[in-house]
Amino acid sequence: MQGMMPIVGYNYGAKQFARMRETIWLTLKVVVACSIGVVFIMMAFPALSMRIFTTDPLAIETGTTAMRIMFAGFFLAGVQVVAGGLYQALGKPIPALILSLSRQIIFLIPLVLLLPQYMGITGVFLAFPIADLLSFILATFLLYRDRDTILVIGKQEQQGV
């Protein structure tokens, strides 16, 4: 995302909208692919990660379950990060700020405080994929809401406006 922002901002300012869209799509593909890779590793080998921090069998067993739950929605998180960077690159600070805060502040903290009251420690673990899903939905909603702004740019370029 950090590499995408100056390229998108520059091409937006230079009215090179096809390059801008190409950069956004490439960034989304790379981020989602990397996220899927991380999810695969964490689902397949969570005990290896736990053994870095402890040799306690109970902690490894509990941590393995926790990591599998916590990383279940991680592949969605990249979309929210890229969308936030896109809004920042386009000079739209309010949606950029909302998306930057959405996963960890707006959704995760309230879920971590609320879900354990009903689900015990599993509620803490479930707060992570739920926050990932909610931030993904929010990012998708904002991008869909603003699609005309982004898509109209491409149409204007094609029409020579």
Give residue-wise pLDDT tens across range 92-147: 999 999 999 999 999 999 999 999 999 999 999 999 999 999 999 999 999 999 88
DSSP 8-state assignment for residue 103 = I
Q: What are phi and psi of 73, to 5 degrees?
A: -110, 10
Write down the pTM of the prediction.
0.87
Q: Which residue has the tokens 């960034």?
A: 27
**3-class SS at 38?**
helix
Q: Across all residues in the chain, what is the average pLDDT?
A: 90
pLDDT band at 2 (very low <50, low <70, confident <90, very high): confident
Q: What is the spatial distance between Cα 56 and Cα 122, in angstroms, rounded to a whole number? A: 20
- pLDDT reported for residue 63: 93
Taking residues 76-82, what's their average pLDDT? 93
- pLDDT reported for residue 74: 93
161 has pLDDT over 50 = no
40-63 pLDDT, tens per residue?
A: 999 999 999 899 999 999 999 999
Angle at 146 between CA 140 and CA 151, to 5 degrees: 105
Q: What is the spatial distance between Cα 88 and Cα 80, in angstroms, rounded to a whole number? A: 12
